[in-house]
Structure 1
């Protein structure tokens, strides 16, 4: 245990200072527009060179800095959160493998090395989801692994189709792809792979299911590592699909994902699942702005979202610990008087999520919404977009009502207080960065101010929708109107809205029947007829022929006698 405490402290210091150095180098690179490629020859075989290529530009450096910064605070947070765990060394090693897999994917301009980091994320995420080793964790891990394997197969097929271009270093010539069949097929594979990692419809159910992992892992996964890998991949491959029909397909999928997750979060009562669905909503927002080709805005929101989403999960972990591992928000309430410091962090993170002016989420989210309003877009899509934004404010206010405003609903004699300073130090550091990070990032990433001219009612539409969503979230819960609605709605309709439109049931059944019939096929095919008529049957045939040949060779006297007899018979008849 003492070794673990010292290891966490050392990792926190190293990661924290390395992250600051990487961010400063990234600012230097963006100021002078620098890009560095590092090539290292691993080995040479028969005249063929096997070279590892690494890409260092301002985008990869700043993103790596943010990943390491958040990881350092989460490791320091885990020092207090996971202190009672018996196998804590295993946990910290898995977290380190997770972070290094993400870092390897960020700096890879080669599709092969991207696949290594991509698969590392999927494998380690499965190990972290099943960390608590119960039935719920195993089921959640299986859904997570199977959903991510679809994206892995898509990357493998895109690697195979890149044979047509002569190299897997896509970064060298991605701007020169023509809109032929090969490039469109590769872009389709890349988009499907990104959809699986970023949990877009129909691959959404694994994201709330991954909440079975420990809360520090959830904070890391939902802020800067696993779910952002798909967004980062699409940012890198943006020239490949920017002018194709796939942009409309991506826009439709991302908008439906935004609306579905925002609606489901308003019917959810699990604390971590609500925050997970909010992550899904923000991923849909990033995907939608990527479908317009605004990669820098998607990258800007990716960084700001990572800050306040990590803070939200940290605060939820403190609340869950204080309430004896209870995650039902109906059992909480009146926390501001008992956990004021945690509630301050939670309120600020929720306001960043809603896009409160002059907090970090405002600088990216408001800019995305105004750029969306200035574009040429379907009116129905426009309504869904702003409705999803209002639902974000609605479930955030609903969550704050259940945690802070409503009456205390837990055990009568249960005392609640802010936990150790190990947790609060990490949370307060992220809180200050969440407040000022968006402003500083806007200076660095957007040195030229954007001037967006819109009609008066369209300028006010964001504020109006946010206020309406906040009023809806508070009014419906303060007057128990949801209970009234529940009593008059059919239970299946409530389940439909609260369970991501029945997708978890569909995906679970598909996974079960796929595994079931796959096992049947393996027994009857691979281990059955294919063994007899395939490799195993050929093996037995060759064995029999070789045994016969061996017998013949071992009895040379009989062979000579038979040949001599045949020869005499032929001479007699001749």
Structure 2
């Protein structure tokens, strides 16, 4: 029996167990903190802490379920790989790191999972060993290290409380200076992990990883770790921190929506849609709706995992081609995969009554009720319209029209293992939104809006879909071929230049200054006055002393004669 199937069965069983435990804990309003003493020396004990409550257990069940389906899917997708077992073990390490982060109430053990995610994600991004993968892996690792530094500093600040179990201090120490500093550091850590502005550039770059990894990373593991951490810390988030987070997250949501509308790489479009949804979660969290943020986190995990799996099946069929301009007419060749793809995309748009609708529509209606000014309202609804726009553009490019790849091809839905992996998730994409709303929201939200504001979400969705369709047609039309270059090279198409800022901007100027310093100092005045000067001086003196030592008898006699002459002159 393959390693894939073994881990698939283990993760699936653990997922079911965790899910039913979370239901039990939710109904009883019950939580357990376990402290396992690892080692004790002279009254100093090293304790491993675990927190079991409905939130951690429910999230863990989703992570385990999605990873079980992804591992099963990888059995066929990675079948041509020479080191498939190594790949599966890396994925398992990735999931274990995430579970350690989910269940830890202790900053030290969270750091183990946090750093584990960063390290294993680097190994997975550089899995296909080429220059692009290495650059993407380094960008991912270094950006996440910034958050790790903030995490380490917050651990140092927790010395003020005498314990690293942050759950004990969230309520009654929330107004202290130490907790405010820790919260700012945690905000920085969460923003780097969840790729908020200005740390957004690593998320599309991480698409160099194999598609099953992208499915796992973008649904329930790496990028959601920052959101989950801030959900845990939301009780001590001050007003100023909330305002900063709201502003940054809403801008990220808008920027990702614009960027995806200009992108042609299939995986990068889906990655930017993840970034947009992360901005949505972070901004509603900044408004105090941590339960809503968690709810959207779970529904988003389901349809985003399946969306990447569908994209992977298409890429796999097309001989690893990811450019949507080479696709088209896929619905005739991969009908079942394309059906899953359409359902996931419609769930992402918030079409009634798929799982994405329940969380997204509720978030938008809560925002409409809040008294937060025109900026927040405007950017939320424009970002929602952009989501529908790039989704319909993607569907138009991939599914309709003529097939633009090789004329000699035989593409069909015969990958039964991949299809079974996708079938495992599709029912949850359709039904899990309503089920989670009944479970998580014990008291229904009472939304009181005017008719126009109530219909605003639907209007924006329809307008966005129409715009996406029209723009795709405009760029594809023969009259507008010259638009294609302008379209893809504009400021908006480059995520507001964040990739250049975080790579070219960071590398170019230090390297240029280093070259100048090397030219002027190391090869310039410091060389002239320093090492070269010492060399010439020592050479000169050594030559002089060499002459002196070689002719010492002559010099001695000459000095003796000179001394006698001096004495004679003095006597006279």
1:431 aligns with 2:426: yes
Which of 370, 386, 395 matches 1:391? 386
1:292 aligns with 2:287: yes
- Measure the CA separation in 2 of the matches of 1:155 and 1:486: 49
1:382 aligns with 2:373: no
| CA shift for structure 1 position 18 | 1.3
Equivalent position of 2:362 in the other structure: 367
Which of 85, 88, 91 matches 1:89? 85
| CA shift for structure 1 position 179 | 2.5
CA distance change for structure 1 residues 193 and 62 in 2, over 3 Å: closer, same or farther? same
1:306 aligns with 2:301: yes
CA distance change for structure 1 residues 145 and 462 in 2, over 3 Å: closer, same or farther? same
State TM-score, norm by structure 1. 0.87
Equivalent position of 1:544 in the other structure: none
| SS, match of residue 171 in structure 2 | helix
| CA shift for structure 1 position 186 | 0.9
Whether the 8 Å CA contact 1:77–1:422 is kept in 2: the answer is: yes
Deviations 1:258-316 (A, max 9, x none): 01000010100000000000000000000000001111100000000000000000000
CA distance change for structure 1 residues 402 and 54 in 2, over 3 Å: closer, same or farther? same
Whether the 8 Å CA contact 1:200–1:253 is kept in 2: the answer is: yes
| CA shift for structure 1 position 511 | 4.3
- Measure the CA separation in 1 of the matches of 2:125 and 2:287: 34
Equivalent position of 1:323 in the other structure: 318
CA distance change for structure 1 residues 479 and 490 in 2, over 3 Å: closer, same or farther? closer
Whether the 8 Å CA contact 1:146–1:511 is kept in 2: the answer is: no
1:42 aligns with 2:49: no
CA distance change for structure 1 residues 32 and 515 in 2, over 3 Å: closer, same or farther? farther
| SS, match of residue 170 in structure 2 | helix
Equivalent position of 2:103 in the other structure: 107
CA distance change for structure 1 residues 340 and 62 in 2, over 3 Å: closer, same or farther? same
| SS, match of residue 326 in structure 1 | coil
Equivalent position of 2:2 in the other structure: 6
| RMSD of equivalent CA atoms | 2.1
> Structure 1 stretch 217-226 or stretch 474-483: which is displaced more?
474-483
Deviations 1:168-217 (A, max 9, x none): 10101211124233222111100010000000000000000000000000
- Measure the CA separation in 2 of the matches of 1:440 and 1:133: 42
| SS, match of residue 140 in structure 1 | helix
> Structure 1 stretch 124-133 or stretch 48-57: which is displaced more?
48-57
Query: What pairs up with 1:188-199 in 2 under 5 angstroms?
Result: 188-199=184-195
Aligned length: 519
Equivalent position of 1:343 in the other structure: 338
> Structure 1 stretch 274-283 or stretch 12-21: which is displaced more?
12-21
1:404 aligns with 2:394: no
Equivalent position of 1:159 in the other structure: 155
1:237 aligns with 2:216: no
Query: What pairs up with 1:103-502 in 2 under 5 angstroms?
Result: 103-241=99-237, 243-480=238-475, 487=482, 491=486, 494-502=489-497
> Structure 1 stretch 9-18 or stretch 80-89: which is displaced more?
9-18
Whether the 8 Å CA contact 1:119–1:152 is kept in 2: the answer is: yes
| CA shift for structure 1 position 498 | 1.1
- Measure the CA separation in 2 of the matches of 1:41 and 1:325: 49
| CA shift for structure 1 position 488 | 6.0
| CA shift for structure 1 position 492 | 9.2
> Structure 1 stretch 214-223 or stretch 433-442: which is displaced more?
433-442
> Structure 1 stretch 115-124 or stretch 408-417: which is displaced more?
408-417
Whether the 8 Å CA contact 2:90–2:124 is kept in 1: the answer is: yes
Deviations 1:327-357 (A, max 9, x none): 0001001111111000100000001100010
- Measure the CA separation in 2 of the matches of 1:79 and 1:199: 30
| CA shift for structure 1 position 495 | 3.2
Deviations 1:499-524 (A, max 9, x none): 1011101100244359859999xx99
Query: What pairs up with 1:475-554 in 2 under 5 angstroms?
Result: 475-480=470-475, 487=482, 491=486, 494-512=489-507
Whether the 8 Å CA contact 1:486–1:494 is kept in 2: the answer is: no
Whether the 8 Å CA contact 2:264–2:324 is kept in 1: the answer is: yes
| CA shift for structure 1 position 47 | 1.8
CA distance change for structure 1 residues 73 and 492 in 2, over 3 Å: closer, same or farther? closer
Whether the 8 Å CA contact 1:289–1:295 is kept in 2: the answer is: yes
State TM-score, norm by structure 2. 0.88
Equivalent position of 1:52 in the other structure: 48
Equivalent position of 2:549 in the other structure: none
Larger radius of gyration: 2
CA distance change for structure 1 residues 425 and 188 in 2, over 3 Å: closer, same or farther? same
Whether the 8 Å CA contact 1:318–1:419 is kept in 2: the answer is: no
- Measure the CA separation in 1 of the matches of 2:272 and 2:355: 20
Whether the 8 Å CA contact 2:349–2:387 is kept in 1: the answer is: yes
- Measure the CA separation in 2 of the matches of 1:468 and 1:429: 33
- Measure the CA separation in 1 of the matches of 2:295 and 2:377: 22
| CA shift for structure 1 position 462 | 0.3
Whether the 8 Å CA contact 2:263–2:488 is kept in 1: the answer is: no
CA distance change for structure 1 residues 142 and 433 in 2, over 3 Å: closer, same or farther? same
- Measure the CA separation in 2 of the matches of 1:325 and 1:518: 41
Deviations 1:330-385 (A, max 9, x none): 10011111110001000000011000101000010000000011001120221111
